[in-house]
Amino acid sequence: MNDTPYAQMRLNRAQQRYLGLYGQPVRHGLAAEDPLARVECARSLLPFFHARLETGGSDQFGALFGYREGTSLKIEHALPAGYGPRPLFDMDASYLLGASDAFQQCHPDIDWTGIWLMRPDSCLPHQREIEDMLEEAKATRLLAEELCLMWVGWRDAQLVCLPYVLSEPGGVAVPLGCNIGYAAE
């Protein structure tokens, strides 16, 4: 008699992190031996990132939402970390939970897939800063299994995204190739 809604509860990543609920985590039919190799950002993210890069002045960050297809992480949506200024890596749990629920109503495979970051000067960080942030994100579990950390910034007057994922749960952070503006099928 396990046909109650709670017995079949499917948890998205935000629910697992911020609510501590028990249930079967959402899995999208991916074999553990298929590591992520690439991030593809939807063209619709360009205006969002451009607007954020133009404001500058403070560290900015927020949530990425998308789905996995083979060895690619397809990012469809990006949001700020919540309303108003927030300390770095302090995600507004209610905001993230509501966004996760809303996106999953539109597309059941979409889930919280990571965090985007921008420096106050809108440029990409140096390697040492990247390493420090990766360690901090790993310590706060914002860089975890199937969650990427992606810097967004200007390089030679081009918008560039630098995503990182863990090589394995608890492993080392590795960079992935990234394409922004892919033609969604």
User: Which tens digits make up the pLDDT trace of 139-180?
Assistant: 877 777 678 899 999 988 888 999 998 877 667 788 888 888
**Residue 85 or residue 48, greater confidence:** 48
Mean pLDDT of 60-81: 92
Mean pLDDT (whole number) for 88-101: 87
Tell me the whole-structure pTM to 2 decimals.
0.81
Evaluate if residue 136 carries a pLDDT over 60.
yes
Phi-psi region of 151 (alpha: psi -120 to 50; beta: other; left: phi over 0): beta
Residue 124 β-bridge partners:
none
Question: Residue 97 contacts by C-beta under 8 Å, 6 or more apart in sequence?
Answer: 14, 15, 18, 19
d(CA 158, CA 181): 13
Q: What does the mean pLDDT of the chain come to?
A: 80
pLDDT band with cut points at 50, 70 and 90 for residue 7: very low
The pLDDT-based confidence of 84 (bands split at 50, 70, 90) is: confident
Q: Helices (DSSP H) in the chain: which residue ranges?
A: 13-18, 45-55, 93-106, 127-139
Model confidence at 182, in pLDDT bands (50, 70, 90)?
low
